Amino acid sequence: MAAIRSLAELTELGRVRLSKNFFMREMLYSEVSNFYGVANIPEDPELAIAAGSKLCQLVLEPLRTQFGQVCIRSAYRSPTLNAFCHERYKAGETDSWCVDNESNYAEHIWDRHDAAGHIGATATIVLPGYLDYFNAAGRWQPLAWWIVDHLEHYASVYFFPKLCAFNIRWYEGPSDRAIVYLNPPRRELLIKRGAPGFDDDHRAAYAGILDNARPG
């Protein structure tokens, strides 16, 4: 697929089915893009589709199977939009929190290889099926331990305070599969590959949370 040059081509891009339950259109939504009028359109649609398909098929679909609906808060970001967000962040604005473009290649910027030549894709998501448990218990850790035990292909996860939202990444290169909680300036590492206990069975840590999940 060539660079997008018309509304018709953008419409066709939105119709691309990345996996059984996810389409490209929902991955392009951005409040920053809508409010400030900065386009969020892939410069390399084929690469964005390739990376996004892996994220959806190998990471998001297993989450959907277990927990039900997966709400996309933020997924693909164009280099133009990400740079705009990063400049606002550097200026101290609180409505944008984006790292620089190079750091976001093969993360939120799906259509760029990173410095190692690898592709990847990140999405910020919320699991409504987990929210009842989270709202009652205030604990993100049980979901994190479930991810460690069940999602073979995630590269990293960063949890946030609101709605138990989290960034989850697929990456074709090596990764430490770190699980981190971010509430600046707080940063809490739960576990990563190579740390004691990473390869253990963690079922006791998330026992009962599936009783509140709502698959479907």
Check residue 185 and give its pLDDT: 82
Report yes or no on 116 lying in a domain. yes
| Residue 24, pLDDT above cutoff 70 | yes
Q: Would you give the distance in Å from CA 5 to the centre of its chain? A: 27
Of 125, 153, 161, 143, residue with least CA distance to 202: 143
Report yes or no on 86 lying in a domain. yes
Q: Provide the domain count of the chain.
A: 1
How is residue 9 written in tokens?
């081509």
Q: What does the alpha-carbon distance between residue 47 and residue 9 come to, in Å, rounded to a whole number?
A: 16
Q: Would you give the distance in Å from CA 195 to the centre of its chain? A: 23
How is residue 112 written in tokens?
């760029």
Of 1, 138, 151, residue with least CA distance to 65: 151
Report yes or no on 15 lying in a domain. yes
Is the sign of the CA dihedral 184, 200, 193, 175 positive or negative? Answer: negative
Report yes or no on 1 lying in a domain. no
Under the banding of pLDDT at 50, 70 and 90, the label for residue 66 is very high
| Chain segment 25-42, per-residue pLDDT in tens | 999 999 999 999 999 999
| Chain segment 125-144, per-residue pLDDT in tens | 999 999 999 999 999 999 99
Order of all β-strands in the sheet with 120-126: 71-74, 120-126, 166-171, 156-159, 178-183, 186-191
Q: Could you list the residue range(s) of the whole structural domain that residue 77 is in?
A: 7-212
| Chain segment 179-209, per-residue pLDDT in tens | 999 998 889 999 999 999 999 999 999 998 8
Report yes or no on 175 lying in a domain. yes
Report yes or no on 2 lying in a domain. no
With the CA atoms of 146, 150, 156 and 161 taken in that order, what torsion angle do they form, in degrees rounded to the nearest 10? -20
3-state helix, strand, coil in the chain (%, to 5): 40, 15, 40
